[in-house]
Amino acid sequence: ETGVTQTPRHLVMGMTNKKSLKCEQHLGHNAMYWYKQSAKKPLELMFVYNFKEQTENNSVPSRFSPECPNSSHLFLHLHTLQPEDSALYLCASSQALGDFDYGYTFGSGTRLTVV
Amino acid sequence: GQNIDQPTEMTATEGAIVQINCTYQTSGFNGLFWYQQHAGEAPTFLSYNVLDGLEEKGRFSSFLSRSKGYSYLLLKELQMKDSASYLCAVKDSNYQLIWGAGTKLIIKP
């Protein structure tokens, strides 16, 4: 247990479904991140939140919609996804934006399959 | 563009030593990280180098040469549990993390 919890661990959804991924951190961190991890590719940064405010949207398609109600919780709302969106979605947190000399703390991820 | 290169896959024998290399070309440099990721699990922090030289932490050591844009992770006395992917990441001038694709390390008995 890393202190960052992601649910669900696995998700299979159709292209017309709507689902949400949840991330919760118990570390008192102020910055939270969504990453996409595809096989044999570098981690792709999707969204960054600092003190609940979105500071970065890395040209992510609008079918991915993030929400950060407080510094401890982060959601990724999914709708009308494509098969190429199948991947491992990782949530991470750090003490502060840009200040992570001790690294990010990651959750175990949600393995998403779009059928 | 920014780029991190590391081998896709390596194989080593239990009890041996393995060195995983990482080369980078980034806009600025504010530190280099190594993470370990077991299949189906969260990436976990291994090491952070910001100055040239070798940082040793038990069986794992990480080396950095900023002038060469080069780092390596050295794993000694390999154990089966060291089978995992190892991710190299560089913090650029904007304090963004640039990631390599990871090196899958397979340990054989």
Chain A residue whose CA is closest to B49: A101
- Residue given tokens 């340990």 in the structure block: B107
Contact A68, A55 (CB under 8 A): no
Instruction: Quote the DSSP letter at residue B8.
Output: S
Please spell the DSSP secondary structure of B34-61, one letter per residue: EEEE-TTS--EEEEEE-SSEEEEETTEE
The H or E element containing residue B84 is strand B84-91
Chain A residue whose CA is closest to B9: A40
- So what's the pLDDT on residue A112? 97
Residue A100 pLDDT level (bands cut at 50, 70, 90): low
Contacts with A102 from chain B: Cβ below 8 Å: 45, 48
- So what's the pLDDT on residue A97? 73
Per-residue pLDDT of chain B (109 residues; tens, 9 = 90+): 789 999 999 999 999 999 999 999 999 999 999 999 999 899 999 999 999 999 999 999 999 999 999 999 999 999 999 999 999 999 988 888 899 999 999 999 9
Please judge whether B102 and A42 are an interchain contact, meaning their C-beta atoms are less than 8 angstroms apart: yes
Which B residues 4-63 touch A at CB under 8 Å? 4, 8, 31, 33, 35, 40-45, 48, 50
Please judge whether A106 and B43 are an interchain contact, meaning their C-beta atoms are less than 8 angstroms apart: yes
The mean pLDDT value for A24-50 works out to: 93
**Among A41, A45, A103, whose Cβ lies nearest the Cβ of B101?**
A41
SS3 state at B11 = strand
- So what's the pLDDT on residue B93? 87
Residue A74 pLDDT level (bands cut at 50, 70, 90): very high
Q: Which residue has the higher pLDDT, B69 or A56?
A: B69
